[in-house]
Structure 1
């Protein structure tokens, strides 16, 4: 696997434009130009992580607009798999040169992406890794550009474990269970808790959603009043857990951790409402994928290797040291 740092030495080939709506930007003007046409297809743009991803692509476009065109799409609900499949089909019909996709499901998108590749379209997978077994069944190879989610979650879990003692009880808010990144974050959390001798007494999927996490976390607190911490597989669910903990009057004795480093959770870390999260550099993740896609457009014979991007622990101390602004 190539390191992320190899990307830093590559020539800047990127451009982009982005939007926070489901309506694609770049549109007809992009499709009518002679520049390479790249479609960025994301999950829910209601989630700050993905709107930040779109903003990062847009910022890069402003610096390199003469080099390629970018059409940005997103779905309103991360569970709307049929809509994301439809977006892939739409971009194939539009004749784009590449699709960079953060799939809402690790399995369901593979057949449509195989069809895109059969049309000669470059496909790059970001954020949530496509299922290896399904890729093999479909006889298709698609490079993954993104972080090691299990390692990132273990960093967060290990940090939480320093505030717990052996035998303490915790609960986990999982992402969508058919998403590889959700599975890997769960594995990282469980590994850290097992190594620390901490007991996971409840682990349920809130499907990445804040409101659902609020409801489930409230139920967890009611059923297991002795839990000491909640590990949320993304920051939206961590925000839901904050609300549940506050409603239960337990803000002072329940630790919460998340994953994604959105601005609202940075503020919560500073305020002591969240202990830690993981930063997978959402503002650059689409850019990493686009750069890979443009290399493959320029040289179709190039090997489409996976690219591991960074993921770092974020705490009150690291935020203070970096001077990150809210």
Structure 2
């Protein structure tokens, strides 16, 4: 009987040791390839900005195949927080070495990312900054790699101000209200309007969605016929506003501005349908995050620091591409 108990304990110890070894080796590498496995988790791949981000990351991995393996994930809807949380949980279960994430919500993703860090996974936040207070409450530090969204939006707003006169009325289409980048873009737009003496006569969230922006912009134009411009917190919403302005017969009277510099908006700027946008270099943004994650994997004692990435004003004069 004692021999059976001893044998069982040996087998149990061996199984535990094997499971630990299969998760990550001492260097933080995936055992299958000897390279770290990085998971990129984004918001809606239906949004061209994030599909461009994915392609940029995939190209970078293809150019550096010996450095890391890449897993790319995205959600179907910008607001599908539950699915994005589930993706993080799946990556934890898959024993990835690093997660680079553009969170759909600045607060809701923090608890599951804390669990990822507790599991020994390096986590890097890109695009939409996680909420500082929630991070503090959860007792976790996660570096942010991305642009200053407020500064970028202020550049767009200042450019609009140069085309209008003091007292003109402007409407703003906001992103998801719980997203830090949406909050910062609204703040940048609003600050630029205040400094120029322009009036924000209406602002509503269209939750990053083109169709919803079309509906809301149409309502804004009907309720506020004096509107001279619509500032949209992303390019998908700007395109929705373009359609609304056209339907209202005001394409020559209302200026449209966006944020992201997706290809459809590049064309719209060339055609004069959109005045300007901001380029935060989506094809490079995930790469910056991946590079930072790889550095942290190489040196676990490295100081976790935020990294500010470029954001540029794009107009017809500057060149939309």
Normalising by structure 2, we get a TM-score of: 0.90
Say whether residues 1:294 and 2:290 are aligned partners: no
- Paired with 1:276 and 1:121, the residues of 2 have a C-alpha distance of 39
After superposition, what is the alpha-carbon deviation per residue over 1:157-196, rounded to whole angstroms, capped at 9, x for unaligned?
Answer: 0000001111100100000000000000000000000001
| Structure 1: gaps (5+ residues) | 1-29
2:134 pairs with 1:134: yes
Q: Which residue of structure 2 lines up, in the alignment, with residue 19 of structure 1?
A: none
* 1:133-163 CA-partner distances (Å, limit 9, x unpaired): 0000000000000000000000000000001
Alignment of 1:281 with 2:269, yes or no, is no
- Is 2:143 aligned against 1:143? yes
Q: Which residue of the partner structure matches residue 13 of structure 1?
A: none
- Aligned: 1:163 with 2:158: no
After TM superposition, list the pairs within 5 Å mapping 1:305-320 onto structure 2.
Answer: 305-319=305-319
Please state how far the C-alpha of 1:31 moved relative to its aligned partner: 7.7
* CA apart distance, 1:33: 2.2
**C-alpha distance in 2, partners of 1:70/1:63?**
12
Distance in 2, matches of 1:66 and 1:247, equals 52
Counterpart of 1:234?
234
Task: Look up the SS of the partner of 1:39 in the other structure.
Answer: strand
Residues 71-117 of structure 1 show CA distances to partners (whole Å, capped at 9, x for unaligned) of 00000001000000000000000000000000000000000000000
Is 1:229–1:255's contact at 8 Å kept on the other side of the alignment?
yes
**Residues 1:263 and 2:269 are matched in the alignment:** no
* Other structure's SS at 1:46 match: coil
Whichever of the two has the greater Rg, that structure is 2
CA pair 31-254 structure 1, distance change in 2 beyond 3 A: farther
Contact 1:31–1:94 (CA<8 Å) still a contact in 2?
no
The offset of 1:66, in angstroms, is 1.6
Q: Offset at 1:67?
A: 1.4
Mapped partners of 1:87, 1:299: distance in 2: 26
Displaced runs of 4+ in structure 1, greater than 3 A? none
Work out the CA distance in 2 between the residues paired with 1:227 and 1:101: 37
The aligned counterpart of 2:152 is: 152
Higher relative contact order (CA 8 A, sep 6+): 1
Tell me, yes or no, if structure 1 residue 104 matches structure 2 residue 104.
yes
Match of 1:89 in 2: 89
8 Å contact 1:54–1:286 — kept in the other structure?
yes
RMSD: 0.9
Q: What's 1:191 paired with?
A: 191
Secondary structure of 1:77 counterpart: coil
TM-score (norm 1): 0.89
Equivalence for 2:303: 303
Q: CA-to-partner distance for each residue in 1:244-292, whole Å, 9 max, x for gaps?
A: 0000000001000000000000100010000000000000000000000
How big is the shift at 1:61? 1.4
Whether 1:114 and 2:114 are equivalent positions in the alignment is yes
TM-superposition CA deviations, 1:34-64 (whole Å, max 9, x none): 2100000000000000000001011111111
Q: For residues 49 and 74 of structure 1, what CA distance do their matches in structure 2 show?
A: 12
